[in-house]
Amino acid sequence: MSQICPHCNYARQATDSAPDWQCPSCEKAYIKASAPLPPENLVHYGPNVETRSGGIGKWLLILIVLGAAFWFGRPLLEQRGAPAALAAASSEQPAVVLYATSWCGYCKMTREFFAANGIRYKEEDIEQSSTALQQHKKLGGNGVPLIVVGDEVVKGWNEQSLRQLLGPWLRS
């Protein structure tokens, strides 16, 4: 006679090695009318709740500890970056070269930006100087303005990029 588990509908086979009171598939206990009762020390059928220690409290504690470490460690990280910013601000402004033309509106905006922020720069007119034109081409310039700040090249008018590169030396 085959037994069917009321929990998972598994049909018990003659070759199954689980006790008669337990389903071989889902391992849940079921009692047949003629079968012996399960052992008395087996009180809870299903997941053992007592072995789950910590639960959400453990994860909450871990989250609080990580949050506190981040919150109190943040000033240490800011102090580590501060000397580099102070060193950059106290050092000499990098060389700034503007490759431009006299008629270009964006070149004019770049000149005004440099003047308003007290940036020292050298201007090279690529229409007046063949050396400036060759250097402009060597830097990969296809248009004007082309701005060189130290080792960085800014192609076209890009105030955000200029502010980022020249931040410590800007007046405003």
The string of pLDDT tens digits covering residues 21-42 is 788 888 888 665 555 565 666 5
Whole-number percent of the chain with pLDDT over 70 = 76
Considering only residues 152 and 48, tell me which one the structure prediction assigns the higher pLDDT.
152
pLDDT band at 20 (very low <50, low <70, confident <90, very high): confident
From CA 169, how far away is CA 172, in angstroms rounded?
9
Q: Are residues 102 and 161 in the same domain?
A: yes
pLDDT of 117 reads 93
| pLDDT, tens only, 84-93 | 555 555 578 9
- End position of a domain, from candidates 43, 64, 90: 90
- Residues 109 and 129 occupy one common structural domain: yes
The H or E element spanning position 19 is none
Do residues 109 and 82 both lie within one domain?
no
Q: Is 34 helix (H, G, I), strand (E, B) or coil?
A: coil
Using an 8 Å Cβ cutoff, are 27 and 17 in contact?
no
For residue 44, pLDDT over 60 is answered with no
pLDDT class of 16 with cuts at 50, 70, 90 = confident
pLDDT at 136: 96
Looking at residue 25, what is its pLDDT?
84
Indicate the pLDDT class of residue 46, thresholds 50, 70 and 90.
low
**What is the domain extent for residue 39?**
1-52
Higher pLDDT, 40 or 66: 66
Q: What pLDDT does residue 31 have?
A: 62
45 Ramachandran zone, left/alpha/beta (phi>0; psi -120 to 50): beta
* Whether 130 and 155 share a structural domain: yes
Same domain, 161 and 118: yes
Same domain, 153 and 109: yes
